[in-house]
Amino acid sequence: MKLDAIALTKCYGVTRALDGLSLSAASVRVLVLIGPSGGGKSTLLRVLGGLESADAGTVRINDHQLCADPAALQAYRRKNGFLFQQFNLFPHLTALRNIALPLEKVHGYSPAAARALAEQSLSRFNLQDHAAKLPSQLSGGQQQRVGIARAVAHQPEVLFLDEPTSALDPEMTAEVLELIQEITEAGQDIILSTHEMGFARAVGDQIAFVAAGKIEESAPPASLFGAPRSPLCQRFLSRVMRY
């Protein structure tokens, strides 16, 4: 995966969520965004994923130059997969239909092909016994695993994950993180934000520290966690990794 984001600005009223942010990555499989809450990680992820457009600046991911054209952004989004903090499953649909329906309506699969692919995705993540269950009948970890299965069922070019374990208890967090690590080891390109520093260090090829709408530091995990150069990054890591 290759990424070039140059001078991105995104404002919500008087709040500058991204403030001239620039970030580059070359030949990276897993890019991890870390930093304080409210620092701009989620906004950056949504801009990179084409879910929102920056007010200024440019983004290029692989061969895709992102622009504000709705049709172009829709085509770009269809190539990728998304998973966010809330599970966002359709509450009235079974786990199987939660995966199959987007394959039909968004990606153009026939009902039979969508069902077969959904069953394959559930089986891949050991969820086949839960195919007929509604989200309310699943644990939080199981719901998030169904969300991951849905996000990767169509073999996305890039998988975007925004703090995918923030709503889970420690045991379920470990379960979902192990699943994400399996996906990375299978070769999936991923851009994710997380507060799990040990996980970020284990799976990331490049770590970007985001604070106050800017990239304060970006480096391989051994460098950033071992000897951070930015005072803000040093202070952040000293707090979150103390215990």
SS3 assignment, position 81: strand
Report yes or no on 169 lying in a domain.
no
Domain count, the chain: 1
Q: What's the per-residue H, E or C state across 93-127?
A: CCHHHHHHHHHHHCCCCCHHHHHHHHHHHHHHCCC
Dist CA 109 CA 47 (whole Å): 27
Both structure tokens of 36: 């304080």
Report yes or no on 170 lying in a domain.
no
Q: What is the CATH number of the domain that holds 214?
A: 3.40.50.300
For residue 196, the enclosing domain spans: 1-80+191-243
Both structure tokens of 122: 């559930």
Predicted confidence at residue 141, as pLDDT, reads 86
Mean pLDDT, the chain cut into blocks of 10 residues (243 residues total):
96 95 94 95 95 94 88 91 85 97 95 96 92 94 91 94 83 84 90 92 94 96 95 94 76
Report yes or no on 92 lying in a domain.
no
Query: What pTM was estimated for this model as a whole?
Result: 0.92
- pLDDT (tens digit, 9 = 90+) per residue, 118-151? 999 999 888 999 999 999 999 888 998 899 999 9
Report yes or no on 181 lying in a domain.
no
Element (H, E) at 74: helix 70-78
Report yes or no on 172 lying in a domain.
no
- pLDDT (tens digit, 9 = 90+) per residue, 175-184? 888 888 889 8
Predicted confidence at residue 78, as pLDDT, reads 92
Report yes or no on 176 lying in a domain.
no
Predicted confidence at residue 217, as pLDDT, reads 96
- pLDDT (tens digit, 9 = 90+) per residue, 149-174? 999 999 999 999 998 887 778 888 88
Dist CA 181 CA 199 (whole Å): 9
Predicted confidence at residue 243, as pLDDT, reads 67
Predicted confidence at residue 168, as pLDDT, reads 78
Predicted confidence at residue 222, as pLDDT, reads 95
Q: How many helices (H) and strands (E) does the chain have?
A: 9, 10
Report yes or no on 216 lying in a domain.
yes
Both structure tokens of 116: 């077969």
Give the CA distances from residue 80 to residues 159, 186, 241, in Å, rounded to whole numbers and listed in that order: 6, 16, 32
Query: Backbone phi, then psi, for 209, in 5-degree steps?
Result: -95, 115
Report yes or no on 237 lying in a domain.
yes
